[in-house]
Structure 1
Amino acid sequence: MPYSNIYEIIKLKKVAENFGDKRNTVKKFSDGSELITEHGRKSENDFKIIHKSKTGKEKLYKHEEIFDKVNNSSNKDKLLEDINLIFNGLPPSKNYVANIDDEVSLEFFKWVFIQEDINYPKGKGRKLTLDALNYYIDNN
């Protein structure tokens, strides 16, 4: 569900409003794990992004942890290209064999970009996260 720009904030808010207080599976991965959203606390429509492994273990990733996964990926350059595509509202190219960590990272960024557009509706939202990722990659 790509969004091309922050001017579609009304659609984004509707997505988040429909989340309500319940947990929502937004992606099921090939290994049986899932990405789940849950209501957050930063704003009315904020949500948390949780990865639930196939064994049922849940992990609420911090941005730096996902940045580290990207930085250490064997597909780092292709993964960064795909994150930039997602940033621009396009689907990832998937022109490489992504492992489960890469798949989770791409889906995580998609939902973080949506979340940041909701929390910062005047245009700086997803750019803050992309700038932070690029800074992390350049300095680690």
Structure 2
Amino acid sequence: MPIRAVVYVSEAVASVADSGSGLPSPKLDDLVKDAARFNRDAGVTGVLLFDGSRFLQYLEGPEDGLAVAYARVLGAQSHVGVVELQRGRVGQRRLPFWPMRWLPVDRLELSSVAHSDWTRFNRRGDADAMNATAMDRLNALVIPHVAAA
């Protein structure tokens, strides 16, 4: 079964965004728990990066499950200004670790991943290289959390 992926960025609404305390609203945990329950049944995995005001989410899974999960994302009232960065087929799952999990990142990390090359969700293997792909950079942010879990 072919695996497809989609990645986007968006702005958190005030009820979800960091209120200046350095911590996100408890509503973010509730949203992610709900997404994880849904994604588990749909066969979708993914990660949500959050810098206190902006999201970058990567989702992957079978075409039908991903389509429904992404439709839920597009209809969510927790964010605005969704900009799709890439969508397409991937040979195998790139981030099979969780049905959904959010990770705190700083603004520069989120920006670096968002503005990197998302073409075909390629990985070169070196997140520190000048020509690192977006998947290289995303993977470098995710892997420490996988090892810690």
Give the number of the structure whose residues are more often helix, by fraction: 1
Query: Does TM, scored on the shorter chain, surpass 0.5?
Result: no
Query: What is the TM-score when the length of structure 2 is the normalising length?
Result: 0.28
Query: What is the TM-score when the length of structure 1 is the normalising length?
Result: 0.29
